[in-house]
Structure 1
Amino acid sequence: MSDDYLVYGAAGSGSTPVEATLTLLGEPYRVIERTVWADAAAADEMEKVNPLRQVPALVLPSGELMTESAAILIQLADSHPGSGLSPAWDSPLRPRFLRWMTYIAAQIYALYWIRDDITRLAADKAHEAVLRERTAARISACWTMMELQAPPAGRFMLGDELSVLDLYLAVVSRWGPRRRGFYAAAPRLGEVARHVDAEPRLAAFWAERFPFSEAWEG
């Protein structure tokens, strides 16, 4: 057992909102870098922790291993109720929070398993462009549907206080087809993401783990 959290992840990956959450909570954590989508050796090493060969994975101070980014974020927020990073179980906002955390994970994030290595599903070279185009279209359609059914309740998704739902949305919306397409598909959600980008408590974190470099929006 350790007082530290141990994160298996990579800069700009699905571990980013987990690391951002731990930063906001002021919890000590270490990151073991595993760029599993670009490095076969890293994927092999990750398999020893998560047989799916995916990041993020989080080892809690108790020694318990967690995978699945949405579950990790909910657990971290719920286990720190004073942080305000998730609504309490009896809050009227709780169903909305759980719905959209799960929606991002299942409907949008899951498509990046395909997009990170299009050959996983492309039967031949001719199929690759079609899969890229159709997964991009599906991602945009899912963001639009979320915007129509879950307009922001304030500066952020649940009101004027930042939650892990906002962190999750802001990070996933930066992946391909990247923010420019996201803003077009869901302009009100885009404003939420911009507020997360500008969160002063995360300025140093973003600069290190997911920098806003030139043309980063796509």
Structure 2
Amino acid sequence: MTLIGLPFEVIEAPTWHGEAEAAKVAAINPLKQIPALVTPDGETITESAAILIWLADRHPAARLAPAIDDPARAQFLRWMTFIPASIYSLYWISDAPARLVGDDEALQAMAKAAIKDRIVDCWRMMDSQITPGRYLLGEELTVLDLYVTVLSRWGPRRVRFYEAAPKMSEVVKRVDADPRLEAFWAERFPLFDGWERLGAAGVNND
């Protein structure tokens, strides 16, 4: 929305901070998960990939997605679907492994380690299947670049992402440095010395 030039309001609701925060989201998304987008018409859109694709298609002048008849459209949809199906969904477990393995701390540690390795494997596979230009799909920035840039900041952090996905690493660094996003990054994902190992929040909770 920053790149498109749309006015928007962010309602903070870190659902992982307890039921009070989750309750803020429940009326919009019964799964109590974020992100969720409410349009000016009152329509609710959940699922991060759906939100990004909808925004890009709704505002084609911003050129944030290949058009339907563009040869790059198939790969755009492929990777926009791959990321939430193969990577993003794993954080539901890694953020709280007790959801699946119970209170055994050893099992929780094993689950988190296995998930981190799986995420790295997915990034490695994606990197092997694409031939970026300045950006992942060629010479123009798309919401796919934004999606990968943000998720690559999560566990197991950028250091392992750089090792697993050298081609994509050049792209995400370019997106990090995009002057149009400078104010956004400063507010939402502030950077600091060592952030690539610790993450944007300044903690190593991957």
Q: Structure 1 length normalisation: TM-score?
A: 0.88
What SS is found at the alignment partner of 1:42? helix
1:25-52 alpha-carbon deviations (Å, 9 max, x no partner) = 1101001001112333101221221111
Alignment of 1:185-196 (within 5 A): 185-196=164-175
Q: Which residue of 1 aligns with 2:99?
A: 120
1:111 has 2:79 as partner: no
Q: Which residue of 2 aligns with 1:83?
A: 62
Q: Which residue of 1 aligns with 2:156?
A: 177
**Cα deviation, residue 214, structure 1:** 2.6
Quick one: distance in 1 between partners of 2:77 and 2:21? 32
Quick one: distance in 2 between partners of 1:46 and 1:63? 15
- Equivalent of 2:120, from 131, 137, 140? 140
Quick one: distance in 1 between partners of 2:34 and 2:118? 23
Gaps of 5+ in 1: 1-21
Quick one: distance in 1 between partners of 2:28 and 2:44? 9
Quick one: distance in 2 between partners of 1:44 and 1:156? 38
CA RMSD of aligned residues (A): 0.9
1:204 has 2:202 as partner: no
What SS is found at the alignment partner of 1:101? helix
Q: Which residue of 2 aligns with 1:62?
A: 41
1:67-93 alpha-carbon deviations (Å, 9 max, x no partner) = 000000000000111111000000000
Q: Which residue of 2 aligns with 1:161?
A: 140
Higher relative contact order (CA 8 A, sep 6+): 1
Q: Which residue of 2 aligns with 1:14?
A: none
Gaps of 5+ in 2: 198-206
More strand by share: 1
- Equivalent of 2:79, from 97, 100, 107? 100
**Could you tell me which amino acid in structure 2 is paired with residue 93 of structure 1?**
A
Quick one: distance in 2 between partners of 1:215 and 1:40? 33
- Equivalent of 2:3, from 24, 31, 46? 24
Quick one: distance in 2 between partners of 1:150 and 1:85? 18
1:139-190 alpha-carbon deviations (Å, 9 max, x no partner) = 00000000011231x1101112110000000000100111001001111111
Identity of aligned residues (%): 56
Q: Is the 8 Å Cα contact of residues 108 and 139 (structure 1) preserved in structure 2?
A: yes
Q: Is the 8 Å Cα contact of residues 131 and 137 (structure 2) preserved in structure 1?
A: no
Quick one: distance in 2 between partners of 1:151 and 1:183? 16
Quick one: distance in 2 between partners of 1:44 and 1:72? 21
Q: How many residues align?
A: 196
**Cα deviation, residue 122, structure 1:** 1.8
Q: Which residue of 2 aligns with 1:4?
A: none
